Amino acid sequence: MLKFKVVKVNAYDYFCAVRRKKKNIVLEKLLVSDYAAEGKSLARVEGKVIFIENVVPGDVVDVRLLKNKKDWAEGVPVFTHSYSADRVQPFCRHFGICGGCQWQMLPYAKQLEYKFRQVEETLKRIGKVALPPSLPIIGAAGTTHYRNKIEYTFGNKRYLTREELGDESQSSEADVAGFHAKGLFDKVVDIQECHLQEAPTNEIRLAVKELAIANGWPFYDIKNHHGFLRTMQVRLCTTGELMVNIMVGENDAEKINRLMEEVAARFPSITTLLYTINTKWNDSLHDLEPVVYSGKGYVVEELRTATDGKSYRFKIGPKSFFQTNTKQAERLYQITNEFAGLTGNETVYDLYCGTGSIGIFVSGGAKKIIGVEMIPAAIEDAKENAALNGITSADFFAGDVADICTPGFFATHGRPDVIITDPPRAGMHEKLVRQILDMAAPTVVYVSCNPATQARDLNLLDEKYAVTMVQPVDMFPHTHHIENVVQLKLKF
């Protein structure tokens, strides 16, 4: 039941309502006309843009406004009059409740079309630089079960659907395993089947849940901070190696041993099993020490280049970062390699290098790789990964790229022929953009997970660099996330 009084207005009355500053405005029968960005679509009312969540172009909906500015507003659908002809039946029974794969109602070809257009329009609108036509977006061959890493949460409060909330026989008190409900940190959506990772992930989660219930082990109460079972991380590699790390909230050797014994016995395909005792209030793993129960304590993933078919191996520990869609990471890195245009003589800088995967992947064509990354543990992984692949021509440095990449640093390690940069969503620090302009490497390859900040940076780089290639890649089917690789060449 809605807690507030809804004042319904049609589009025609809309501006009068705004003028009278009425709250809880519901705009009726809006035709969602286009995809906007970040998963939101839009409708236009008298020239004003209304951004709407959880709808797709072609839907006709009543929208309750949550934000209302002069030129734009934002809202959520409260009633659907008719659904878009583009819609398809979502394949997951948890769709709409679990926040995981929010675009399942769109055919994959449409998802790719919207992502492609978003890249093109964002680069044009924010970048304001001359652009070549984008290459067609590279979609994923496998649109389900594509994640190599997944984390499930155990909890003692079940998420109740709107219908269940109205039914007094339903209670949220239940031991469940799945994902946090969107916007509700203390409620967990009980997942029966998740389509994000290959077997035996679902079986492991369900078995751990059953085992804990059968033994009376408490599931974690995130509000009151007690309980045994907390989270479970599964890493499944294309090499077949499988790592499971179960986080527990009690340092109880007997329970932990029973849990480990049972999981190891029931799932012989687990190549390394770990547990992590966490009595903190949050679930973050970075300041905890996972304990290896069996196996080597890490898994090895493999990525193959397109040019010489050479494959590189990457050691992934329970705390390491690695691209979560292996097959598409391979495509992403192949494109990056191609755009770098290496001949064997180049000094390549891999900025925001994480565990060094891009630099290592392109190393076969380079004279030297210099990687820079903020997290020291990732740099340790990068060094180990370079050694694992027998690469001696790579050096990795821990620190903020904006501070490390000074003229002195470039002078010490060699003038860059190619700079590869792969910043987080916020894009590059302006200081780094300046340093790149000063260094004037002939080629820059910019890998981005956020076209808006990439566009902003391209605008700054325009001073010396022309965009010569644009290649969007889809790493995350059924989500609105998008990756984009841009090649830049020095203009003069």
Residues involved in catalysis: 449
Interaction of residue 77 with ligand SAH, rule CB under 6 A:
no
* Residue 105 amino acid letter: M
Rounded to a whole number of angstroms, the minimum distance from the CB of residue 310 to ligand SAH is 18
Cis check for the bond before 376: say yes or no (omega within 30 of 0).
Answer: no
Q: Are strands 149-157 and 72-82 parallel, antiparallel or unpaired?
A: unpaired
Each residue 405-444 as x (binds ligand SAH by CB under 6 A) or -, in order, gives -----------------x-x--------------------
* Of 101-109, 236-244, 374-382, 453-461: span binding ligand SAH (CB under 6 A): 374-382
Among 95, 108, 321, 397, binds ligand SAH (CB under 6 A): 321
Contact 148, 235 (CB under 8 A): yes
* Of 185-193, 222-230, 273-281, 367-375: span binding ligand SAH (CB under 6 A): 367-375
CA atoms within 13 A on the CB side of 394: 33
Residue 179 burial class via C-beta count within 10 angstroms: exposed 0-12, middle 13-18, buried 19 and up: buried
Rounded to a whole number of angstroms, the minimum distance from the CB of residue 384 to ligand SAH is 14
Interaction of residue 374 with ligand SAH, rule CB under 6 A:
yes
Residue nearest to ligand SAH (CB): 354
Q: Which is nearer to ligand SAH, 175 or 350 (CB)?
A: 350
The footprint of ligand SAH on this chain (CB under 6 A) covers a number of residues equal to 16
Q: Which is nearer to ligand SAH, 107 or 424 (CB)?
A: 424
Q: Which is nearer to ligand SAH, 57 or 354 (CB)?
A: 354
Among 261, 289, 400, 463, binds ligand SAH (CB under 6 A): 400
Q: Which is nearer to ligand SAH, 41 or 334 (CB)?
A: 334
Contact 59, 42 (CB under 8 A): no
Residue 152 burial class via C-beta count within 10 angstroms: exposed 0-12, middle 13-18, buried 19 and up: buried
Residue 448 burial class via C-beta count within 10 angstroms: exposed 0-12, middle 13-18, buried 19 and up: buried
Contact 450, 444 (CB under 8 A): no
* Of 21-29, 350-358, 380-388, 462-470: span binding ligand SAH (CB under 6 A): 350-358
Q: 10 Å Cβ neighbour count for 18?
A: 16
Q: Are strands 48-52 and 311-316 parallel, antiparallel or unpaired?
A: unpaired
Q: Are strands 443-448 and 418-421 parallel, antiparallel or unpaired?
A: parallel
Interaction of residue 334 with ligand SAH, rule CB under 6 A:
no
Q: Which is nearer to ligand SAH, 357 or 471 (CB)?
A: 357
Rounded to a whole number of angstroms, the minimum distance from the CB of residue 415 to ligand SAH is 21
Cα distances (Å, whole numbers) of residue 41 to 89, 135, 137, 450: 19, 24, 20, 17
How far apart CA 252 and CA 256 sit, in angstroms, is: 6
Q: Which is nearer to ligand SAH, 68 or 471 (CB)?
A: 471
Rounded to a whole number of angstroms, the minimum distance from the CB of residue 323 to ligand SAH is 5
Each residue 157-176 as x (binds ligand SAH by CB under 6 A) or -, in order, gives --------------------
**Which positions lie near ligand SAH, rule CB under 6 A?**
321, 323, 352-354, 357-358, 373-375, 378, 400-402, 422, 424
